[in-house]
Amino acid sequence: MVSYKELGLVNTREMFAKAIKGGYAIPAFNFNNMEQLQAIIKAAAETKSPVILQVSKGARNYANQTLLRYMAQGAVEYAKELGWEHPQICLHLDHGDSFELCKSCVDFGFSSVMIDASSLPYEENIALTKKVVDYAHQFDVTVEAELGVLAGVEDEVSSAVSHYTKPEEVVDFATRTGCDSLAISIGTSHGAYKFTPEQCTRDPKTGRLVPPPLAFDVLDAVMEQLPGFPIVLHGSSSVPQEYVDMINQYGGKLPDAVGIPEEQLRKAAKSAVCKINIDSDSRLAFTAAVRKVLAEKPGEFDPRKYCGVARDYMEELYKHKIINVLGSDGKAE
């Protein structure tokens, strides 16, 4: 058993309480490799933003959970080396799908876990979530749960259609499970294709897809039911069109990729939404950089030359999200 406290990590409790009060959101960035982690920590350290490092089941399979956990531990030391005196870094399991997986992360030094039982029937979601909460809370590890279903297809997360969270269920769910935060479905989805062209309109000037607005009425109704309770938004990448264009320009094929407009995320961040999950945007930044460097320098074969550029792109992206979208800069001096 390793306690996250010995590793210099923090859980989400205080982070979320401050974020709700202060009208900003904590960035939750997924990481699978060293370059992503370096970029996240550099961005957080430079902007003095609290940050959540997320590890998905797919990331554990790709990079090995032991290695990822030691990398997160190393991240705390790296942050200090960068001059961030009191780093506020949370290590979080993203989309845990079983009690055993959540328990193994709690036992292994994670400071927060998500149990995503949102695809199960309501009562089964409650039972599994409560089991995870009862275990995690013994070690002061915080637990995120999910109600409602997000659309999207990722390695380990898949559903063709979304179902908005039912506001009339949230009080019963939060009370009976004891969860610390709740991920809700209000129209966001995973991946780089969040809406079909049929769901969007087109900007006549640019020809770009304009997505439909998120269901802020559902968010408002949830907040009315659970005043001051921490709400989480998954599937919150904006799919920056400059990266999509670069990828397409340099041999990729991402037609009509579209995300959540940043002004909608800005609005959400000011509410009880205190954790915003971003993964796809980092994947796009990485891929755009690698494609560009390799297309422009076909003789290059040193991975540091293109992964280093990818890291710079991701760092810029993370800083932009922190400062211009979530407003979490300067909140962890």
| Spatial separation of the C-alpha atoms in residues 147 and 174, rounded to whole Å | 10
Task: Decide if 136 contacts 179 (C-beta within 8 A).
Answer: no
The footprint of Zn ion on residues 15-54 (CB under 5 A) is: none
The footprint of ligand 13P on residues 5-64 (CB under 6 A) is: 30
> Given the DSSP bridges, would you call strands 209-210 and 201-202 parallel, antiparallel or unpaired?
antiparallel
Of 282, 326, 237, the closest CA to residue 32 belongs to 282
Is residue 97 part of the annotated active site? The answer reads no
Cβ 172 to ligand 13P shortest distance, Å: 25
Q: Which of 92, 234, 292, 321 binds Zn ion (CB under 5 A)?
A: 234
The footprint of ligand 13P on residues 66-105 (CB under 6 A) is: 94-95
Phi-psi region of 17 (alpha: psi -120 to 50; beta: other; left: phi over 0): alpha
Q: How many residues bind ligand 13P (CB under 6 A)?
A: 13
Q: Which does 48 bind (CB under 5 to 8 A by kind): ligand 13P, Zn ion, ligand G3H, none?
A: none
Q: How many residues bind Zn ion (CB under 5 A)?
A: 1
- Which position's Cβ is nearest ligand G3H? 58
Question: Amino acid identity of 214?
Answer: L
> Given the DSSP bridges, would you call strands 112-115 and 231-233 parallel, antiparallel or unpaired?
unpaired
- Radius of gyration of the CA atoms of the chain, in A: 19
Task: Decide if 162 contacts 189 (C-beta within 8 A).
Answer: yes
Token pair recorded at residue 175: 């009370």
Q: Which does 236 bind (CB under 5 to 8 A by kind): ligand 13P, Zn ion, ligand G3H, none?
A: ligand 13P
- Establish if 234 lies at the interface with ligand 13P (CB under 6 A): yes
Of 113, 17, 133, the closest CA to residue 65 belongs to 113
- Establish if 280 lies at the interface with ligand 13P (CB under 6 A): yes
Q: Which does 155 bind (CB under 5 to 8 A by kind): ligand G3H, ligand 13P, Zn ion, none?
A: ligand G3H
Residue ranges binding ligand 13P (CB under 6 A): 30, 94-95, 190-191, 234-237, 277-280
Residue ranges binding ligand G3H (CB under 6 A): 30, 56, 58-59, 94-95, 154-157, 190, 234, 279
Which active-site residues does the annotation give? 94
